């Protein structure tokens, strides 16, 4: 006896299981381009806050190298965290990912990550970069991890149990 799934096609009930949409993994170069575009947006969004920290005397701003002091860096990372966290949790994509047809989804559900995993995913990169003496090397290793596995997952993807898919190249599986 076949199971009825209640899918209506042309007014009839079919016994076929629902079709699944399969997505290809996001291309590495698309992920890099989306990240760079998003970081540029973060810099633009963070500029008023940098100006405010300079006006309040938190950063001196006398020379460009002095602008990159820890309060300014903290402000920029907070802007980036909020930018990535809220958009990944709500839509699974940022403007950079949207332009390139990429989306962050939970590996277990295929939906955008919940607030917790999206927060973890968004905190890993700044957290790695903040490690004294080795932060930049570890952060580079996070980005290079995408080349070490077939699922094209960076460390922040692995920790948050997410994967980046290409929504423009979907395939319908009717099995």
pLDDT of residue 103: 95
pLDDT of residue 69: 65
pLDDT in tens, 1-39: 333 323 344 444 444 555 566 788 999 999 999 999 998
Mean pLDDT of all residues belonging to the chain: 79
Alpha carbon separation from 143 to 18, 31, 158 (Å, rounded): 36, 10, 12
Q: Which of 25, 28, 26, 35 is nearest to 145 (CA)?
A: 28
pLDDT of residue 31: 92
Q: Domain ranges for the chain, please list them.
A: 26-173
pLDDT in tens, 30-74: 999 999 999 899 889 988 887 877 777 765 555 544 445 667 777
| pTM to 2 decimal places | 0.75
């Amino acid at each position: 006896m076949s199971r009825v799934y209640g899918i209506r096609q042309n007014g009839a009930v079919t016994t076929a299981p629902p079709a699944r949409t399969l997505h290809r993994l996001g291309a590495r170069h698309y992920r890099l381009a989306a990240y760079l575009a998003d970081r540029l947006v973060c810099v633009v969004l963070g500029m008023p806050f940098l100006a405010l920290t300079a006006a309040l005397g938190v950063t001196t701003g006398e020379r460009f190298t002095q602008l990159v002091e820890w309060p300014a860096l903290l402000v920029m990372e907070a802007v980036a965290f909020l930018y990535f966290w809220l958009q990944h949790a709500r839509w699974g994509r940022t403007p950079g990912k949207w332009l390139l047809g990429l989306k962050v989804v939970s590996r277990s559900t295929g939906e955008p990550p919940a607030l917790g995993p999206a927060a973890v995913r968004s905190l890993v990169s700044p957290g790695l970069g903040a490690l004294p003496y080795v932060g930049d090397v570890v952060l580079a290793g996070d980005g290079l991890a995408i080349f070490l596995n077939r699922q094209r997952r960076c460390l922040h993807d692995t920790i948050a149990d997410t994967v980046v898919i290409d929504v423009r190249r979907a395939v319908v599986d009717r099995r």
